[in-house]
Structure 1
Amino acid sequence: MTSMRAVLIKDGKGPIENLHIAETAKPVPKDGEVLVKIKAFGLNRMDISQRLGHYPPPAGASDILGVEFSGTIVELGNGVEQWQVGDEVMGLVGGGAYAEYVNVPATHIMAKPKHLSWAEAASIPENWFTAFQAVVLVSEIIPGDNVLVHAGASGVGIAAIQLAHFYKANDVIATASTKEKLDWLLSLPSGATHAVNYKTQDFAEEVKKITNGKGVGVLVDFVGQSHWHKNIQSLGLDGRMTLLAALSGAEVPTVNLGPILFKRLRIQGSTLRSRSADYQSKLIKQFQQEVLQNITGSDGNGELRVYIHKVYPWTEIQEAHREMEANNNSGKIIVEVV
């Protein structure tokens, strides 16, 4: 059996120190799939959860970490006609991107824009698809909406902030934990119009001041329990909150249903990795049609840009995970396969 190198986890789960590069079976594309030789892959917080044994991959997906990548097609499965060997692509998978090669459905890749580097292309799929789903599809942003984005300096957060501007939001408010991150978010060309330190400020009170008491129409949250009550306070009439994670906990004590009723709030959980292949392919197609062509590199002059915190060689995968776990990043952490 032909082998490849990949980042594996000793004992199947565990601490950062269990990550190591080793030989494993090279995948063979099935009908409707392509085999991609990976140039770079992105890190996401779900990778930490999976490494610790808390977030198994979807049925049928590789148990190797990693859901987004850029690379070159090296083999086509039966029935694939829209791609050619040698095409430069970026894409989304249920798992397997921390490797030299990955199988991916032909509907789950996009042509890599020529103006983007391999690292920049790998930073797009998971973050931008998730943000697009939350802001546009679930929250149904409309021009003039005020928007609140938590974890604003994360990859998804930065994408959500920029998409809010792209779809003609009014105030775009971001929260983060340090002055450095807040200043950075305010400095970006399509960054936050206002930034709040959730550790030292009451973000609900700040939202009230910024919006002249109106509140926000769109709210994107990863935090859950600790932010719940202030989130409800921050939402205006007919406000829509999309929950992407519950990093502070999933159980909220003493929930008051009153504000949800009289404000006519809509609160929806949203995931991407567990969605059906058909849903994901339609999402990718819509994203390509509406957004992708407008994204430039961080040194470009487009309204939408990618922002990379740091690029690591995959021989430093442990250091890359430490940086993400320490919450030090402003922008995306990318790893190159070398």
Structure 2
Amino acid sequence: MTRSGRADYGRDMHAITTREPGGPEVLEWTEVPDPEPGPGEVLLDVAATAVNRADLLQRQGFYPPPPGASEVIGLECSGTVAALGEGVTGWRVGDEVCALLAGGGYAERVAVPAAQLLPVPAGVDLVTAASLPEVACTVWSNVVMLAGLGKGDVLLVHGGSGGVGTHAIQVGRALGATVAVTAGSAERLARCRELGADIAINYREQDFVEEVRGATGGHGADVVLDNMGAKYLARNVDVLATDGHLVVIGMQGGRKAELDLGKLLPKRGSVSAVGLRGRPVDGPNGKAEIVADVRARLWPLIESGTVRPVVHEVLPVRRAGDAHRALDAGGVFGKLVLRVR
């Protein structure tokens, strides 16, 4: 049984669907069944969602949702609580929230485990809040909870101008780390510096290993947050400091590469390849644990303005195809948000 504050609860809704795997043109705004919150879940009226690179892969047929998750694209959203599933406490119908999703964000409504909800941070509007859950949980779980970044450490962020990158710069800075970033133009690097990057490296013209080691007196990077995968693996090991931790969160540069253990062992280095979408809700390192830590330790930094959302543009959800084209073209700084309501 659910507790609902909506007169139209249970009717069909609209969502962006894919008629077949392919380019942005396969995205369509169509009528689909209304989701129903199960035990421990909350139904949201979606105000906005945000575009992530994983969405492009799912559209192409390369990144299916985990078992039981919505087939609708979208890994995060903001909105208003419309109904509570059985056993849900701590939330009320009408609460404004944002949420980490396993799918379903590009829609008018979505059902989500209550443990994956976050209150909209003070000082952030409801639409902008849609840009936060995925980057916040990705960066915090990997850079802080897993790799243990702290004051005085050196953090290297690849793709510093992207959604994850712009957030990671600010988190690193807030924690007292020296932050190095790679990006593909002087303009993008200048904007990364405005967010708090100390070392700005044009990957088209400079060797990030030489630049980071040179700027840190040969120390290197204590934590590397990498979205490239195979292409950067060898050089990421080279740039690691003693006891350093390389965290791979993407494969834009390929899936397979050779790992030289002869270089990694003397450094006592660690390499982790970590995904967020497929994690269970509960249990050690589950989404509930991550979201709780984000709320307790990162949300105060956002509410104080120390870490702020970086939104490139807000588009209506019916223009999801245009948003996918823009992200694929590489001209986006920060996040693209899709307004649903």
State the TM-score bracket (shorter-chain normalisation).
over 0.9
SS in 2 for 1:304: coil
What is the identity, as a one-letter code, of the residue corresponding to 1:71?
Answer: G
Q: Which residues of structure 1 form unaligned runs of 5+?
A: none
Distance 1:240 1:80 in 2: 38
State the 1:134 CA deviation. Answer: 1.3
State the 1:194 CA deviation. Answer: 1.2
Distance 1:236 1:111 in 2: 37
* 1:286-331 deviation digits (Å, cap 9, x = unpaired): 11111112215xxxx7211111011101121111111111111111
Q: In structure 2, what is the equivalent of residue 3 of structure 1?
A: 12
State the 1:119 CA deviation. Answer: 2.4
State yes or no: 1:152 paired with 2:160.
yes
**Which of 326, 329, 334 in structure 1 is aligned with 2:332?**
329
What is the identity, as a one-letter code, of the residue corresponding to 1:41?
Answer: T
State yes or no: 1:257 paired with 2:223.
no
State yes or no: 1:309 paired with 2:312.
yes
State the 1:245 CA deviation. Answer: 1.1
Q: How does 1:134-153 map to 2 (within 5 A)?
A: 134-153=142-161
What is the identity, as a one-letter code, of the residue corresponding to 1:246?
Answer: M
SS in 2 for 1:236: strand
* 1:56-100 deviation digits (Å, cap 9, x = unpaired): 101100000001000001111111121111111110111001000
**Which of 29, 33, 58 in structure 2 is aligned with 1:50?**
58
State the 1:28 CA deviation. Answer: 0.9
Aligned residues: 329
Distance 2:260 2:113 in 1: 44
SS in 1 for 2:28: strand
SS in 2 for 1:207: helix
Distance 1:109 1:288 in 2: 9
Over the residues paired in the alignment, what is the CA RMSD in angstroms?
Answer: 1.2
**Which of 205, 212, 216 in structure 2 is aligned with 1:207?**
212
Identity within the alignment, %: 37
**Which of 269, 276, 279 in structure 2 is aligned with 1:272?**
276
Q: In structure 2, what is the equivalent of residue 181 of structure 1?
A: 188
What is the identity, as a one-letter code, of the residue corresponding to 1:271?
Answer: G
TM (norm. structure 1) is 0.95
What is the identity, as a one-letter code, of the residue corresponding to 2:105?
Answer: A
SS in 2 for 1:291: helix
**Which of 117, 123, 130 in structure 1 is aligned with 2:131?**
123
State the 1:251 CA deviation. Answer: 1.0
State the 1:113 CA deviation. Answer: 2.5
State the 1:246 CA deviation. Answer: 1.4
SS in 1 for 2:127: helix
Q: In structure 2, what is the equivalent of residue 75 of structure 1?
A: 83
